[in-house]
Chain A
Amino acid sequence: MGFLRQIWIVTLLGLESLPQRVGAALVTVIGVACAVAVMISLLAVAQGVIQSIYKHDNSDLAIVLPGGAAAEYLGSFTRADAATISEAPGVKRDPSGKPMVQPFATVIVELQKKDGSTANLFFRGSGPMERRLKPYLQYVNGHIYRAGVHELIVGRAAQRTFKGLDVGDRVMLRGTQWTVVGTYAANGGIDENAIAADVDTVLSAFGRTTYQSMEVALTSPEDFNKFKDALTTNPQLKVQVKRLSDYYYDQLKPLISLFDFVGYFVGSVMAIGAVFGALTTMYSIVDARVREIATLRALGFGGGAVVLSIMIESLVLAIPGALLGAAIAALLFNNEAISTSGISFSLAVTPGLVETGILWALAIGLIGGFMPAIRAARVPVATALRAT
């Protein structure tokens, strides 16, 4: 009898008797399901952040920051610098010949969230060119801010998270009262996590004279290096140039790493627990089948076939556990909006995460099945047959 056929028969015998051992089988299924569900749910946070960053094709947009500034609210450059940047090669011009660039001033403001705690939010001084750089920005409610008056518009995610940011509300920021006049959306993208007003109005309200960052439309995504080299080699400028999406990713990297760390850490500990569960299941199954296995061995079935078939049985229990866990995570948390560290986004249970969950479950099944399989193959045939 061929080796594969032996494995097939022993496995089939084992699976046929599984219904008699539902209790033991459930230990593996539930253990794996819980571990996978928790791990995928936690990893879905980081995936949600990444998806909100790469929601739109921003590859033709670049951000220019002053040299040494770690974030868009830290450095400063002058109007003369801004003019030099607008004239750099690679900058797209609109039909009237105007460079498509938008200088920004960014202030961090601390506002109260709807749950009563406080969090930081970006207050961006912007201008009319921004919506031409980012055609995906939609002004869904009210009207856009005007220059010279203290009017601001609110990103939809910020509106969802923070208190008192509905159209018509008044917001007190450093002794100046601002009126919320509109809401904007970016289809769930990261841009929704801010409030915005006219850049020069923001500068004067916060007693500043210099811009802090500049966003630039490139003639094409491939011209990024040309543009970057032109600015970084210009001795009059001390700036750094990044693709806009990469900049956002760099900014949110600590948050992404934190959630990935927590997800993999908790997932690992729970996976170890699930391995113990699988070991319990498989040992009890092997114990219950001792006479049957001894009979097969007496009939001439090889030890290798027994080992493999027990491990297959373990995998057969682990995979439904993984699918169940992934389904629970997806049903409970996919597209669930959460807010953390002042940004709000939707969790994303991606196919990649489900794949990770299944791979982990396979590992749990293999490790949990191995030792019991070895014990099954070592069953002393004569003693086992005589046992009651």
Chain B
Amino acid sequence: MKYFPLVWAGIWRKKGRAILTLLSVANAFLLFGLLQGFVSGLDAQIAETHADVLLTADRVSQTEQLPMSLLPQIRSVSGVRAVTPVVIFHGTYRAPTEFIRAFAVDPDALKAADAQSNVPASDIAKLKHSRTGALVPSTVAKQYGWKVGDRIPIRSFYWNNRDGSAVWPVDIVGIYPTNDDDVFFGSAVLVNYDYLDQGRVGSNGTATVFLVRVTDPTRASDVGMAIDRRFANSPYETKTASERQLAQDSVRQIGDVGLVVRLIMGAVFFALLFSVGAVMMQSIRERTSELAILKTLGFTDQGILFLVLAESLFLRLVAAAIGLGLAAALAPLIQRLAGFDIHPGPVVLLGLVLAALLAIVTGLPPAVRGMRLQVVDALAGR
């Protein structure tokens, strides 16, 4: 540690150069933190097996309907606590641009399946007693100025009623607090399954997905597989997964993100190696006589090697830490802007290891040059 002032002085010998190096390395590690953080965000979601609620949908096509006869069979799978049929009832309000996310649900089963207890029990009871009733999340009610007692028309994307029209009038019986984390029972309009199913032309007695609440969240993936096994090779093969896993699938369909990120980072570090390496080499070349004086004062060859490497290591690690810290600070912003999940946390260690590697690769040639320095030649300027 007593050599630290020497290392410190070496780094700041040329201030502009040190700052440029610091910025280049920090910039590269900012990108590393964001991209690799994106990959680790994906991996984290894939690895996630804890889930209270699973979705069972048609394996071949998630827009196809599954018959209600599957419901009791799913319920009988061990580890299943409750099952709710859900029909996607998305549509528009007055104008085609006023998109309404809506689901038709069974109020009796809703309470058991609403893991986060978002919707108050009193509201569920009101929905049960009003065939044309609807429960509306508070934000949606505010957006359109809806009140309890209003009758609103929803023009369904998928379902025509017996009048040959896609417009379904519903009566608002309750407004529940919005919770954006819960896609089904937190931010969507909820209507009665019976109202839709008995009114629609075609697909009667079916559901788009079954929401399965499991008794033990840690065993969710086993339960999901047990459900899918039950319907294997039937006309209604199912796919059961947590909602995040399903969202994950669509990201994974984009392709091998990890490979793309590795290629990009390869190019970034290749360029960095050159710029940082050249600067380091030049800096040592300019300090030839200073290093020779240190040797004259009694520094060993190894001492010089250590000194130059320490300088390289210190600067890279600090710069990498700044870049990774910046990535962590920016992650929530990008998450909001682009909707990506970015977890830079798990990649910090890998980043610091890479920074150390970079320090050794760029520091070793100048360090060896300094070590091999012949005092007499160096001081003579040869």
Q: List 7 A-B contacts (CB under 8 A).
A: A33-B271, A68-B92, A74-B63, A208-B202, A272-B27, A276-B24, A277-B24
With both chains docked as a complex, state the minimum distance between the C-beta of A351 and any C-beta of chain B, in angstroms. Answer: 22
Residues in B lying within 8 Å of A, measured CB to CB: 16-17, 20-21, 23-24, 27-28, 30-31, 35, 58-64, 91-92, 96, 155, 157-158, 160, 166, 202, 234-237, 239, 249-250, 252-256, 264, 267-268, 270-272, 274-275, 278-279, 281-282, 338
Are the C-beta atoms of B264 and A38 separated by less than 8 Å?
A: yes
A280 adjacent to B24 (CB under 8 Å): yes
- Contact for A75 among B62, B157, B271, CB less than 8 A: B157
CB distance from A152 to the nearest CB of B (A): 14
Q: Which residue of A lies closest to B158 (CB)?
A: A74
B128 CB to closest chain A CB (Å) equals 29
Residue of B20, B237, B239, B267 near A270 (CB, 8 A) is B267
Q: How large is the interface on A (under 10, 10 to 19, 20 to 34, 35 or more residues)?
A: 35 or more
Cβ–Cβ < 8 Å partners of A261 in chain B: 338
A119 to B255, CA, bound (A): 10
**B28 contacts A273, C-beta separation under 8 Å:** yes
What residues on B are CB-neighbors of A337 within 8 Å?
A: none
Q: Are B282 and A24 in contact (CB under 8 A)?
A: yes
> Are A110 and B62 interface neighbours, CB within 8 A?
yes
A107 at the interface (CB under 8 A from B): yes
- Please judge, given known A-B contacts A68-B155, A68-B166, A276-B27, whether A26 and B274 are in contact too, CB under 8 Å: yes
Nearest CB on A from B266, distance (A): 9
Per-position contact with B for A120-136: 1 when CB-CB < 8 Å, else 0?
Answer: 10000000000000000
User: Considering only CB atoms, which chain B residue lies closest to A332 in the complex?
Assistant: B263
B157 and A270 contact, CB distance less than 8 A? no
Interface residues of A in 10-38 (CB under 8 A from B): 23-24, 26-27, 30-31, 33-35, 37-38
Known contacts: A75-B157, A174-B60. The answer to whether A266 contacts B235 by CB under 8 A is no
Q: Is A73 in contact with chain B by the CB < 8 A criterion? A: yes
Is the Cβ of A266 less than 8 Å from the Cβ of B31?
A: yes
> B63 → chain A, closest Cβ, in Å?
6
Assuming A74-B158, A270-B31, A270-B268, is B23 touching A175 (CB within 8 A)?
A: no
Of B20, B157, B237, which one neighbours A280 at CB under 8 angstroms? B20
Q: Which residues of A contact B166 (CB under 8 A)?
A: 68, 238
Instruction: Say yes or no: A174 contacts B64, CB within 8 Å.
Output: yes
Contact between B279 and A117, CB atoms less than 8 A apart? no
Known: A27-B278, A269-B30, A276-B20. A108 touches B63 (CB 8 A): yes
Judge whether B275 and A276 touch: CB under 8 Å: yes
Which chain A positions have C-beta within 8 A of B274? 26-27, 30-31, 277
Cα A209 to Cα B278 with chains together (Å): 71
Residues of B within 8 A of A340 (CB): 253-255
On whether A175 and B236 interact (CB within 8 A), knowing A108-B63, A109-B60, the answer reads yes
Give chain A nearest CB distance to B304 CB in angstroms: 22
Q: How far is the CA of A175 from the CA of B127 in the complex (A)?
A: 36
Q: Which residues of chain B are within 8 angstroms of A115 by Cβ–Cβ distance?
A: 256
Q: Which residue of B lies closest to A240 (CB)?
A: B96
Given contacts A67-B96, A175-B234, contact A23 B24 (CB under 8 A): no
- Check A266/B35 contact, CB under 8 A, given A68-B91, A108-B61, A280-B278: yes
Q: Are A31 and B236 in contact (CB under 8 A)?
A: no
The A/B interface has a contact count, at CB < 8 Å, of: 138
What distance in Å separates the Cβ of B284 from its nearest Cβ neighbour in chain A? 13
Complex contacts, A338 vs chain B, CB 8 Å: 255
Given A27-B275, A68-B92, verify A276-B23 contact (CB < 8 Å): yes
Q: Considering the complex of A and B, which 5 residue pairs feature the smallest CB-CB distances, nearest first? A: A175-B235, A34-B271, A276-B24, A34-B267, A277-B275
Q: Is the CB of B252 within 8 A of A35?
A: no
Given contacts A68-B157, A110-B61, whether A269 and B275 have CB atoms under 8 Å apart is no
Contact A117 B271 (CB under 8 A): no
A342 touches B253 (CB 8 A): yes
Determine the distance from Cα of A109 to Cα of B253 in the docked complex, in whole angstroms: 14
A173 contacts B by Cβ under 8 Å: yes
Q: Do residues B279 and A109 form an inter-chain contact, with CB atoms below 8 A?
A: no
Cβ–Cβ < 8 Å partners of A175 in chain B: 234-237
In whole angstroms, how far apart are the Cα atoms of A75 and B62 in the complex?
Answer: 15
Q: For B270, what are the chain A residues with a Cβ–Cβ distance below 8 Å?
A: 30, 34
**What is the bound-complex CA distance between A307 and B255, given in angstroms?**
47
Q: Besides the contacts A27-B275, A175-B236, A273-B271, what 18 more A-B pairs have beta carbons closer than 8 Å? A: A24-B278, A33-B271, A34-B268, A34-B271, A70-B157, A74-B157, A74-B158, A76-B158, A108-B61, A174-B64, A175-B234, A206-B64, A276-B20, A277-B275, A280-B24, A284-B279, A338-B255, A339-B255
Q: In the complex, which residue of chain A has the Cβ closest to the Cβ of B337?
A: A261
A119/B27 in contact, CB under 8 A: no
What residues of A have a CB within 8 angstroms of the CB of B160 in the complex? 76
A173-B254 Cα distance, complex, nearest whole Å: 23
Q: For the complex, is A279 an interface residue (Cβ under 8 Å from B)?
A: yes
A26-B278, A68-B96, A266-B35 known; A109 and B267 CB under 8 Å?
no
Minimum distance in angstroms from A243 CB to a CB of chain B:
19
What B residues does A107 contact at CB under 8 A?
61, 63-64
Contacting residues of chain A (23-61) with chain B, CB-CB under 8 angstroms: 23-24, 26-27, 30-31, 33-35, 37-38, 42
A73 in contact with B252 given A30-B274, A31-B275, A276-B275 (CB within 8 Å)? no
A204 at the interface (CB under 8 A from B): no
Closest A residue, CB atoms, query B269: A34
The interface residues of chain B lying within 8 Å CB-to-CB of A276 are 20, 23-24, 27, 275
A317 contacts partner chain B, Cβ-Cβ < 8 Å? no
Q: What's the nearest-Cβ distance from chain A to residue B240, in Å?
A: 13
- The answer to whether A69 has its CB under 8 Å from any CB of chain B is yes
Q: How far is the CA of A272 from the CA of B30 in the complex (A)?
A: 11
B92 — nearest CB in chain A belongs to which residue? A68
- Cα(A27)–Cα(B202), bound, Å: 67
Cβ of A211 to closest chain B Cβ, rounded Å: 13
Q: Whole-angstrom distance between the alpha carbons of A107 and B65 in the complex?
A: 12
Chain A residues with CB under 8 A of B60:
109-110, 173-174
Q: Is the Cβ of B24 less than 8 Å from the Cβ of A273?
A: yes
In the complex, A30→B236 CA distance in Å?
56
A279 proximity list for chain B (CB < 8 A): 20
Interfacial chain A residues near B28, Cβ < 8 Å: 273
Contact B20 A120 (CB under 8 A): no
User: Does A311 lie at the interface of the complex (its beta carbon under 8 Å from any beta carbon of B)?
Assistant: no
If A74-B157, A108-B61 touch, whether A174 touches B27 (CB-CB below 8 Å) is: no
User: With A and B bound together, what is the CA distance between A118 and B249 in angstroms?
Assistant: 8
Q: Is the CB of B267 within 8 A of A38?
A: yes
Complex: A37 Cα to B271 Cα, angstroms: 11
Contacts of A108 in B (CB 8 A): 61-63
